[in-house]
Structure 1
């Protein structure tokens, strides 16, 4: 029925939600403030002792903090009176003296037609239930008995049987005076292509009635008794009553059980739902033999904020779970998500509960994983990430999935969780390294007592200023243009940051700058506060860096990082070779050698203290890196001392 604009707004303004709800509940006088329209009561939608149901009479909305039911006066009447939307509007309009607009004759005709179809469906339910007790249904009775269903369970679920024959149901309904158009319109029979009498849709099948949330029979599901039948399970065709993508098996009872605090479980088939419900898991539904649709997801979220998808423990079950993940990502909202409980391999919920009991099912449900973990599992399971290209492909795939999430807050939290998982995958535990020990395979031996003088000339306590300044420029460059981090991931991994602030920044750059670089600065401030960043950018050599002054310039950042990292590598190589030379000359006390080494060390120190090194002349080292010529001369002086000593020997 079409209502004129403004009718519902006027109806809501005339209606007191407090009075409407007050007919169904007893207000908690201690928590309620009648004068302010702030009212509290035990929830009418689920059993509870405390007053968690809140009504804001001034705004006209209610919300339950227990079962999360929410709405206005119309939805409250609709749910508590079990009526349609238009019927709820009619009830409220009559109470506040408003005249309902004239009904659209065509809409009324459609409503009447649906009512007639529902009556035909109830006749079919009774026919199938009676047929299960006939001699022709002996095999069907044996089958349901083997599946653990006794007489009481058959009665509760209204399970029936469609006899093997072309017109059994058709003839029965026609004998009761039901019109042919209604039988065909309800999907109970199909017209013959040969021009003869229509034939039954269900033949030689165990029948499961499908009811809507209001309890009306809207369709049937049939399980074939013939193992050679083309379709093991068959649902009613779509009709004026039945939309397969908008319906759930066991919808009404599951909603009631979920309102009483049970977790909502989504299984794959009718028998899974029945087995779970009989085992004490009353809040369970099934999507009627199809992949879960967007409309069904919305129905699930109206029942529960976090339904558990319980699927078979096989490849097909895992594929079905992945399809649900892809469907759900764009629809996620704050507080609305999914969890996934995968059954043991080769078993479905029905097998598990019959074989091992409800406790085994509960154990699987307790281990249900959040959706982000299943997404991660799909992208990483069975794959090896032993190259930058494979890691980059993983990052790209994950970024594409995260971008599907429309809610920015949820998208950010997914990104953070993925970063944590990525960190755990690519950053295995490392053995602790002594603060003086440089990276690489070479480990200098401790110098003997007689080489104290040479050690003081060649070794510097802690990290020298040359290395520290370059690291600070590298960190600032990455933060200014985080899109380049993925290209230099291994170099950042090898960066030797001995300053605690530097180490913390490097860790956050690796952790957050690859999967979601646009939020790197926010993540650093969130983790460390603004202090370390302010301290870094206050350094003169950082502040004048072109990359810092031109943030986001990816090309400039790439060139800067490549050059600075090459310099660090060359400097690290010089440091290691000088230390090796020191070790080789250990025990020698020749003053000439000592003097030469002292001069080499001093030359090296002058190079590291240079404040204008970018203007110096560079040589190309054997490894292709640019090396400050002063450093090269220092190294050559050391090697000359080594050669001199060898000749002297």
Structure 2
């Protein structure tokens, strides 16, 4: 809302910056000169020991010569209290005794109503706290003692007890508060059948819920009856209370975050209280439901990277995975989440009681970034021993990060997940080296595993320099056509997912294209691909002569692009099928007998023939081997070199 001219100047004039800052610092009496309004203190923003934080009361500004924090009274309240601009104005105006102008009469009426309902809740809170201290609260006090909650902690968190019956309504009536107001405040309920209102909380330990400004907006209740339908119960949603837009212990946690503590998000009231008792004062909890997007925004206003502390059981992990899906579209640079997974079977209260605050701190220090937990969800308990399963993993990872709207964040997620994927598949290969296949099955004539040629020798035999370059050119054309003709990737999704690019640039570009496969706008697609794969990779691709002369790149056309992609992907698939067959044949040739060698070469010949039919225009000079295998000049020379090397061994 807009404030009337002169209001902020009047507010600053009425307040002494020294008084505002003095609530948070200890002045250095040796350096400070109160008479001149020239004050010095250790900085409240970076927790130093020397007094480098300077307040100039005359000009109304502060400055830290250590961390360079600066501003006026409004800025100071915003930074130390973790509040927005208007909230800071309201805090300072209340301190200065100035009413904040209300421009909208309806808004003023609503604000007055909220204040009235908050007063009803305060009256209810006084009643609940009194009941806890009386004879009727004996069982509730015994339960809290059993949980190890100290009397001073009960006072700090204003714990109370709601007795059975309608004792609260009677107490409020004695104070002139009607049953209708109690219903509007959420401490009473009215049946739909027209019967008289009744107390909403009965036979429950009561936890007051305050908002960021300290207003008492509702209560949570823990049942003393083990057979109650709901162990924990929050007040009903009313004008004052929206549980999806509130956090338990919000005000205290915000102040603690302003002192530099890490924001911890626990599951319930007792967890928050246990953590706060142990020194983790910047702790909040959602109110009986899964975390909402609005609660995430409240957390990010307090801390750029809250730590979600969850039980290590399956339910805790499921809750963490739900938070990941919720947070994905909301991520921004500098706003993230980490996840602290507690030992299975223990909540924060139990862990602290068993092993002390140090054990809890260790768990928080080991909190995982969101990308690590995302990877765990997609891979834990799964086996990726086939191309289909690996392709399914690729697809699920792309689907998971697709909701991220920030292009830079999405690119970094893609890079990290791609690194994890490579490490996973590399590890599989190292654990399970491929055994040489023989036509009759088994592991060779003498039961021994066949020797595998070195990678350098296999590369020289299977893919010549010219053929490798041809593969790169085909990949480049495919990628350029996909980028120039948005939406085409969806038509060739299965072929593209099975494609293994020959270069890092192509791998990054393909990953980016598949991540944004559903994008229909060419400009947006190009920008997203550039952000994920890097501008340099995209420029190198689009500047290549083979790419620039491709018709569907020069003049994007869906039908021409479809024909081009069908042809080029088929050629790549055929050539790589031939190369795979030839690789297996060569492995056998180094250790197998003549019969197996002939059979393998025949298989390679058939694959080669299929490939060459699809690429007649690219053929160089071919010779025909005696067994019918077509060989290029490079391949023929490589085979001759190989045979000359192994002939002496075969003659022994």
TM-score normalised by length of structure 2: 0.70
Specify the alignment match of 1:389 in structure 2: 388
Cα shift at 1:480: 3.8
CA distance in 1, matches of 2:470, 2:175: 89
Residues 1:627 and 2:625 are matched in the alignment: no
Specify the alignment match of 2:309 in structure 1: 310
SS of residue paired to 1:218: strand
Q: From 469, 473, 481, give the equivalent of 2:470.
A: 473
Cα 1:171/1:573, change in 2 over 3 Å: closer
Query: Deviations for 1:209-233, whole angstroms, at most 9, x for unmatched residues?
Result: 1111222221111000011111111
Query: Deviations for 1:294-348, whole angstroms, at most 9, x for unmatched residues?
Result: 1111110011110000112222211111111111111111010000111111221
CA distance in 2, matches of 1:634, 1:80: 76
CA distance in 1, matches of 2:380, 2:627: 41
How do 1:152-231 and structure 2 match up within 5 A? 152-165=152-165, 167-193=166-192, 195-231=194-230
Cα shift at 1:369: 0.6
Range that drifts further, 292-301 or 382-391? 382-391
Residues 1:261 and 2:260 are matched in the alignment: yes
Cα shift at 1:105: 3.4
SS of residue paired to 1:346: coil
Residues 1:463 and 2:463 are matched in the alignment: no
How do 1:220-619 and structure 2 match up within 5 A? 220-428=219-427, 443=451, 463=460, 467-482=464-479, 487=495, 492=500, 506=503, 509=506, 513-514=510-511, 553-566=564-577, 568=579, 614=619
Cα shift at 1:527: 10
Report the count of equivalent residues.
Answer: 555
| Contact 1:479–1:520 under 8 Å retained in 2 | no
Range that drifts further, 358-367 or 72-81? 72-81
SS of residue paired to 1:132: helix
Cα shift at 1:400: 1.8
SS of residue paired to 1:481: helix
SS of residue paired to 1:226: coil
Residues 1:85 and 2:96 are matched in the alignment: no
Cα shift at 1:460: 9.1
How do 1:141-156 and structure 2 match up within 5 A? 141-156=141-156
Cα 1:559/1:71, change in 2 over 3 Å: farther
CA distance in 1, matches of 2:379, 2:52: 43
| Contact 2:512–2:529 under 8 Å retained in 1 | no
Cα shift at 1:168: 0.2
Cα 1:526/1:616, change in 2 over 3 Å: same
Range that drifts further, 412-421 or 176-185? 176-185
How do 1:2-151 and structure 2 match up within 5 A? 3=2, 24=20, 48=48, 85=86, 88=89, 103-151=103-151
CA distance in 1, matches of 2:504, 2:634: 30
Specify the alignment match of 1:603 in structure 2: none
Cα 1:160/1:560, change in 2 over 3 Å: same
Cα shift at 1:528: 10
CA distance in 2, matches of 1:461, 1:382: 35
SS of residue paired to 1:207: strand
Specify the alignment match of 1:644 in structure 2: none
Cα shift at 1:479: 3.9
Specify the alignment match of 2:648 in structure 1: none
Cα shift at 1:74: 5.7
| Contact 1:491–1:565 under 8 Å retained in 2 | no
Query: Deviations for 1:74-125, whole angstroms, at most 9, x for unmatched residues?
Result: 6656788999938938978x99xx9997744333222222222222211111
Range that drifts further, 564-573 or 127-136? 564-573
Query: Deviations for 1:492-535, whole angstroms, at most 9, x for unmatched residues?
Result: 59xxxxxxxxxxx54665577447668889888799999xx79x
| Contact 2:476–2:506 under 8 Å retained in 1 | yes
Cα shift at 1:63: 11
CA distance in 2, matches of 1:547, 1:113: 69
TM-score normalised by length of structure 1: 0.70
Cα 1:429/1:72, change in 2 over 3 Å: farther
Cα 1:111/1:581, change in 2 over 3 Å: closer
SS of residue paired to 1:238: coil
Cα shift at 1:578: 7.5
Cα shift at 1:169: 0.5
Cα 1:65/1:316, change in 2 over 3 Å: farther
SS of residue paired to 1:345: coil
CA distance in 2, matches of 1:522, 1:85: 36
CA distance in 2, matches of 1:445, 1:420: 27
Cα shift at 1:240: 2.3
Cα 1:150/1:477, change in 2 over 3 Å: same
SS of residue paired to 2:208: strand
CA distance in 2, matches of 1:631, 1:381: 45
